[in-house]
Amino acid sequence: MTPQIKANLPKRTVSIIGTGSYVPEKVMTNADLEKMVETNDEWIASRTGIRERRIAAKDEATSDMAAKAALAAMEDAGIKGEEIDLIILATITPDHFMPSTACLVQTKIGAMRAACFDISAACSGFLYAIEIAQQFITSHTYNTILVIGVDKLSSIVNWKDRNTCVLFGDGAGAAILRHRAHGHGVIATRMGSNGNLADLLSVPGGGSACPITAENAHLELNYIKMEGRETFKHAVTNMVESAKQVLDDAGLKSSDLACVIPHQANLRIISAVAERLDVPLERVMVNLDRFGNTSAAAVAIALDEANRTGRMKVGDYVLLVVFGGGMTWASSVIQW
């Protein structure tokens, strides 16, 4: 009998068969921030749309949040840890430089058959990971993949910088991907980046280019730095362009979408993107008022909430669109 070579097998479609999320118990409101920096609730809410965010406990690591989101997604999908072939974890706040946080999650959820690795694409990480996972399933390399977006941004936020500390929160979101015989799943995905804009949103210190030492510790280079106005402009432009491209790839119009799930960074950005795509805000998933910007976790948490609250039904078309440091951006059209 002639063996069936994987390269000759027909490509498979890829569906999200389960979602999960986790946010820490501690709620930090705008009123709480008023006691820490020179700001107020009206200023934060009017400029960002954020009213509160979740903050992880000191002993709660990125891997802890990721594992809880993963277990919720596994329960939603009805699978066990031993069924997972691959774990892809997107984060900019890993537990350690080495080993990967994905390997730590593997142990915590009992997925000991899985290969594991992390990726770093800032707030775009979850959709980058979805695209990577899709390639492995389409090519018959793996059957069941766990994708996680997670960040503990409270660990790299300067709580004395009112321009950034008001924006960010902690959390994790996860999805289980598999081929599903009766459904198209991920129809099209676009990814993009522009390293010329890397300095707009970055953590300048802590890596090999600028290790934190006793001599430079006072410069606080291990915290998030952001050029807000320029970041806003490029975020809107690239998200809109990417969304239009992926809709064209999918052969769809914005009017075909049942739900749009954008990166949860700023309500003004979300509103501008929705307006340029001609999508009414009632079809846009927004939860940043409660969670702030959780980086790689943001769109994953919003996807899980949209799933669990019935924002999408089977057969609906959903657009996910994100941007992040790098600069990076991505978009994906999914048939639910």
Give catalytic residues, as residue numbers: 123, 263, 293
Residue 84 and residue 186: Cα distance in Å, rounded? 19
The structure tokens listed for 178 are 């598999």
What's the one-letter identity of residue 205?
A: G
Q: Transcribe 111-136 into DSSP letters.
A: -TT-EEEEE--GGGHHHHHHHHHHHH
Return the sign of the alpha-carbon dihedral for residues 318, 177, 307, 64: negative
Residue 134 and residue 130: Cα distance in Å, rounded? 6
Residue 200 and residue 122: Cα distance in Å, rounded? 13
Omega of the bond prior to 65 within 30 degrees of 0, cis?
Answer: no
Between helices 228-250 and 267-277, what is the axis angle to 10°?
Answer: 40
